[in-house]
Amino acid sequence: MPKAEIARRVHEAADVLELDKLLKRKPKQLSGGQRQRVALGRAIVREPSAFLMDEPLSNLDAALRVQTRAEILKLQQRLDTTTIYVTHDQIEAMTMGHRIAVMSLGVLQQIGSPHALYTNPVNTFVAKFIGSPAMNLLPADAVDLGLGGSGRLVGFRPEDVELANGRRADCAECDATVEVVQYLGDEQLAYLKLRDEEIVAKLPVEADLQPGMQRRLAIPHKKLHLFDAATGVAVGTVG
């Protein structure tokens, strides 16, 4: 290739990956994270018809990982290049993927859009893997659903838990004891004991929650997922 074209591609990739000040360094002078960005840059400069990226951000610090993730998305949109991206980080998968294939022990569990996997997980593995914090899963009789000992698990996401304010026909309700509260600024995570089960609720910071306090919780029926207790396969929803 012409030297000018080589320089353009190298400096463009280096700028995206914040390597422009390191171009004159030898590999032994680079950190593990910097070497990983160099490897990513080697793929970018080729402008291929498809990318295969296997854990490309795993050695980067948290802030740089977020930034590089955004830059990869911008690059992908600009080049319109098919990218197969392998990751154990479900946040990376959710934020970067148009279609996600979830695998466990080499077996494909579910494939679909981020929204489909989040709202309609086909089994308990996908339900626990997608979403942070993970979906709460507990025996169906732990909440009042009228299912009795039917061999089912009920699942609900922490963000779908509400503090009960009067009886609602469209919600399952239960009493739980606050164990730990984590303040996150715009929200709080409450870890609660529901009978013999532990659950997590993502709640507004306005709610006054203290360890040892008992609160009544409500979960809308339409947000409840049912799974077979033996197989873990989804068997429908309540709402």
Output the domain CATH number for residue 39: 3.40.50.300
Judge if 154 and 83 occupy the same domain: no
Alpha helices, DSSP H, located in the chain: 3-16, 32-45, 62-79, 90-96, 114-119, 124-129
The verdict on pTM exceeding 0.85 is no
Residue 76 placed within a domain: yes
Judge if 226 and 140 occupy the same domain: yes
Q: What is the pLDDT of residues 23-62, one digit of tens each?
A: 999 989 988 778 878 888 888 888 888 889 898 888 788 8
| 160-171 mean pLDDT | 86
Q: What is the pLDDT of residues 97-124, one digit of tens each?
A: 999 999 999 999 999 999 999 999 999 9
Helix axis angle, 32-45 to 3-16, nearest 10°: 130
Residue 11 placed within a domain: yes
How many CB atoms are closer than 10 A to CB 61? 10
Judge if 79 and 142 occupy the same domain: no
Dihedral, 75, 80, 85, 89 alpha carbons, nearest 10 = 50
Higher per-residue pLDDT: 206 or 159: 159
Which domain, by its residues, includes 144? 136-237
Reference 137, options 157, 119, 159, 151; nearest CA is 157
Residue 114 placed within a domain: no
CB burial of 106-115 (b: ≥16 within 10 Å; e: otherwise) equals eeebbebebe
Residues 6+ apart with CB under 8 A from 73: 95, 96
Judge contact between 190 and 184, C-beta under 8 A. no
CATH of the domain at 226: 2.40.50.140
